[in-house]
Amino acid sequence: MLTLLLLACDIAPDTGTHGFSDASNLCGRIERDSGAPAASGVNVVQVLDGETACVGGDTGGAGWWGDVVESPAPDGDFFEATVPAGSYGVEVYAGPDYSGCSAAVVADDSTCSADIVVRVSQQFEFDKPNLYLYPTERTDVSVRLPAWRQITESDPRYPVDGWRVTAWPDGELDTRVGERDFLFYEMNYDVGRLQQEQGWCVRGPLAQLSIESEMKDIGFLPTEIRDFATAWDGEFPETEWMTIYPQFTHLATVKIDPEPDSFLRAWYYVAPGCRAVEPVQPPDVVRTGFHAAEWGVGFESPLDAPDVVVHGG
């Protein structure tokens, strides 16, 4: 696990001193566990009005927006930046699978931010989150996804300032590239934020059907479950046993404007083997008024490894 500690420039790190420039008002030190890759990049992101950096904890990719104002190159285990007074988030990347984030406030008289810790943790890709919108009447809707730099795929292509669509009561969406039944994206996400206590153990060949059954029980519509089946038929990994952990909370922030009256969300984290789990406590979401729904799936290695047979892959 990587940890980034932002320190006051006039405080010497435990491992020695570093010659920060007098002009820097944001500086830090990068700590790496044995075997972790070196930091490959740092972004200082100015937080947009009304937003809070690193929403959802001290991990990257949790749900916030802003513009990169500085990208200082790490100098060994150190970095520094000079930025105007304001609110910021500091993103740290260490190879394709590790990242982290921490909030920082820079005042006019700042010499360096202090006492800020960033936990940089392993990320993995959540596949095929499909987002559905059902207003009560024709409605222009904007949708903003978290940490857009961590989005790996999207349809329609996700713009930095979010999707803007016209939604109809039957779920049809008019987008800038044509009609869609849902908004699609894939993103890197912090595996440490996923609960791995509640779930169920199932034989591998029945895993997909068990998810579809659970989706029906918690309120997904037949068309949404059919989309799930269409997406994964012939693509779901194979192994003798799987443990499925449904995720209803601590998901990546999605902002919908106007805000729906209800929003049913479920991501399914699928791990190999049969593990001890507690019974699932599903959400109680009543889909009335303007309602939205979203499902997604993520696989723990080695389910997505090359030696696992995936039909149609």
Interval 168-201: pLDDT, tens: 999 999 999 999 999 999 887 777 778 999 999 9
Is 19 contained in some domain?
yes
Closest CA to 211 of 272, 270, 131: 270
Determine the pLDDT at residue 74.
81
31 and 164 fall within a common domain: no
Strands 78-81 and 26-32: antiparallel
166 and 104 fall within a common domain: no
Determine the pLDDT at residue 24.
85
186 and 251 fall within a common domain: yes
59 and 155 fall within a common domain: no
Determine the pLDDT at residue 290.
98
73 and 167 fall within a common domain: no
136 and 63 fall within a common domain: no
Of 95, 114, 133, which residue constitutes the final position of a domain? 114
Average pLDDT over residues 87-107: 79
Number of folded domains that form the chain: 2
134 and 64 fall within a common domain: no
Is 308 contained in some domain?
no
Of 45, 79, 114, which residue constitutes the final position of a domain? 114
Report CA-CA distances (Å) from 124 to 30, 51, 153, 198, 299.
22, 25, 13, 20, 9
Q: How far apart are CA 21 and CA 18, in angstroms?
A: 9
Task: Quote the domain boundaries for residue 148.
Answer: 124-299
Percent of the chain at pLDDT > 70 equals 78
> Tokens 């934020």 correspond to what residue?
193
130 and 25 fall within a common domain: no
79 and 145 fall within a common domain: no
Q: How far apart are CA 24 and CA 112, in angstroms?
A: 7
pTM greater than the 0.75 cutoff? no
Determine the pLDDT at residue 301.
74
> How many beta carbons lie within 10 A of that of residue 244, not counting itself?
21
Please say if the pLDDT value at position 162 is more than 60. yes
Residue 92's contacts (CB-CB under 8 Å, 6 or more residues apart) are 2, 4, 30, 39, 41, 42, 60, 99, 100, 101, 118, 120
102 and 214 fall within a common domain: no
Of 89, 114, 139, which residue constitutes the final position of a domain? 114
Average pLDDT over residues 294-311: 65
Average pLDDT over residues 207-218: 97
pLDDT mean across residues, the chain:
81
